[in-house]
Amino acid sequence: MYRQQLNLLQEWLNNKNRKPLIIRGARQVGKSTLVELFAKEQSRTLMNVNLERYPELATTFISNDPQQIVSALEMLPRTPALDPSSLLFLDEIQAVSEAIPALRYFYEDMPELPLISAGSLLEFTLSDHKFSMPVGRVQYLQMGPMTFTEFLAAIGEDKLHQLISNYLPHDVIPDIAHKRLLSLLRTYYFVGGMPEAVAVYAETKSFRAVSEVHNSIIDTYREDFPKYGDRRNLARMLNVFNFAARNAGVKVKYSNISREEQSVTLKADLELLCMARVISKVVHSHCSGLPLQADLDEKAYKLLFLDVGLMNAICGLNYNTLSQMDEHKLVNEGSIAEQFIGQHLQGLLADSPNRELTYWLREGRSANAEVDYVVALSGQIVPIEIKAGKNGSMKSLHQFMGEKQSPIAVRFDASLPSVSTVETTIQNGQKTKAVKYPLHSLPLYLVERLKAVIEASQ
């Protein structure tokens, strides 16, 4: 199946100053499959070594001698010999942590060998390492679930895939294509972007088969809990895990997770799930300038789950329920649309040094305001609302634009693309302030084209 990261791997391979690459991402997002696809696409001999199978290689990697390491790897069963067309892949590298510092010596002593590594629970090793990290000697690639356009390509909807991929502002989207995309978007809400679930749906079109895959992946994540270390209470971890899926997009209050457990304990459980990349935080930023992450209030945050399909599986939503939900309700109520937009924004920002998602929150006795997401794109602060309805229902966005005076605002809904000028008033202390700004309304399925829309508006 096509993955957008194949293009990034091509750029990496052709880089004259190529460094060993570490792919970071949650379990089962397709890291290993990506490397296999890339090797096949490039007609390269793949030397694929899963280090979970060979913990005894730790002593070999300690030598920090690339030639000695490669010689040992060539002795493993079903491992091809190194040749000029080889691609070395060290999978599950966290299982032999000694391999991580050795990467710098491949960069320095054997730069001609393309080397990729990956690990599902790599963040735990990196956060608790007792070795010298190869700073400046490795490159990272962030990987998440398949996007909506990748899903379309996988199920054979090539024309719709191209329509979104090539969309530019002012392009006309035919009404029939718009309706089909909204219908397929509901399918994606259920199937999600986990590659195994997408592959099963593409082959069988069976929602029951997809549910079986979801259940298997969820069980795998739960079985990982003991690997998080520190002898966590597994029942409590499961409770936190389920809470995160059922409360995506909602500001976290520890008392809502459990009234019996201390907040510091629940916070630690959430942090571990973040390290496993099963969930992620969207932190409140005051949005006073760039980077947005320099102005955070770490105590105020909401959660995103890894994947909208897995989230709905844990919440018990079946396809019949999703397919019959009113479009207005689907956008405005619950967390499905916000989760969908959030996981795609993470993909858009994956290569940014400030990739953590933020939102804006103002809490007061009588005047609360919250903007779903605020991102930095093309040097601009862009507030994003996910809301169907008239402009008057977006009081929080009006408040943000009046206070922060961003040059552009974006709303995602189920309507065709449009641009309008919003003119309204807000309360600024005891005074009334006039607010005027351009609002770009986009259908949710165009989220991957957000950067192109922002750039065209400048």
Q: Is 15 exposed, middle or buried (0-12, 13-18, 19+ CB in 10 A)?
A: exposed
Residue 424 lies in a domain: no
Q: Name the domain boundary from 77, 109, 142.
A: 142
Q: What is the DSSP letter of 52?
A: G
Shared domain for 232 and 190, answered yes or no, is: yes
**Residues 414, 331: contact at Cβ < 8 Å?**
yes
- Please answer whether residues 113 and 86 qualify as being in contact, where contact means their C-beta atoms are separated by less than 8 angstroms: yes
pLDDT digits (tens, 9 = 90+) for 409-430: 999 999 999 999 999 999 877 8
Task: Count Cβ atoms below 10 Å from residue 234 Cβ, excluding itself.
Answer: 13
Q: Say whether pLDDT at 366 is over 70.
A: no
| pLDDT over 70, % of the chain | 98
Among 142, 169, 200, residue at a domain's last position: 142
pLDDT confidence of residue 272: 94
Q: What is the CATH number of the domain that holds 107?
A: 3.40.50.300
How many residues can be counted in the chain?
458
- Inter-residue contact 1 to 146 (CB < 8 Å): yes
Return the structure tokens found at 279.
Answer: 């969930």
DSSP category for residue 46: E
Asked whether the beta carbons of 88 and 103 are under 8 A apart, the reply is no
170 & 272 share domain: yes
Together in a domain, 94 and 46: yes
**Has residue 185 been placed in a domain?**
yes
Q: What CA–CA distance (Å, rounded) separates 287 from 301?
A: 14
- Domains of the chain: total: 2
Asked if 9 and 130 sit in the same domain, the reply is yes
Range with lowest mean pLDDT among 196-210, 363-377, 442-456:
363-377
Q: Does the structure show a pLDDT above 80 at 396?
A: yes
pLDDT in tens, 14-38: 999 999 999 999 999 999 999 999 9
Do 131 and 266 belong to one domain?
A: no
Residues 114 and 177 in one domain: no
**For residue 119, which of 146, 105, 99, 147 has the smallest C-alpha distance?**
99
Tell me the pLDDT of the chain averaged across its residues: 94
- pTM for the model stands at 0.95
- For residue 75, being part of any structural domain is answered with yes
56 in the same domain as 20: yes
CB-based contact 35:118 (threshold 8 Å): yes
What range defines the domain where residue 44 resides?
5-142
Separation of alpha carbons 57 and 72, rounded Å: 8
> How many distinct helices (H) and strands (E) make up the chain?
20, 13
Tell me: pLDDT of 365 over 90: no
CB atoms within 10 A of CB 155: 20
142, 161, 191 - which closes a domain: 142
In a shared domain, residues 154 and 134 = no
**Would you list the DSSP string of 120-169?**
TTHHHHHHT--S---TTT-EEEE--SPPHHHHHHHTT-HHHHHHHHT--T
In a domain, 39, yes or no: yes
Residue 449 lies in a domain: no
> Hey, how many other C-beta atoms are within 10 angstroms of the C-beta on 38?
23
Torsion angle of C-alpha atoms 200, 37, 41, 205, degrees rounded to 10: 10
Domain assignment of residue 362, yes or no: no
| Helix, strand, coil distribution of the chain in percent, nearest 5 | 50, 20, 30
Give the pLDDT band of residue 392 (cuts 50, 70, 90): low
Considering the domain architecture, whether residues 264 and 154 belong to the same structural domain is answered as yes
**115 has a pLDDT exceeding 90:** yes
Q: What is the pLDDT of residues 176-195, one digit of tens each?
A: 999 999 999 999 999 999 99
133 domain residue, yes or no: yes
Residue 363: inside a domain, yes or no?
A: no
Pull the structure tokens for residue 346: 């993470």
CA-only gyration radius of the chain, Å: 23
Tokens of 360: 């804006």
pLDDT at 421: 96
| Residues 110, 14 share a domain | yes
State residue 231's pLDDT score: 67
pLDDT at 428: 79
User: Do residues 91 and 238 both lie within one domain?
Assistant: no
Same domain membership, residue 312 and residue 168: yes
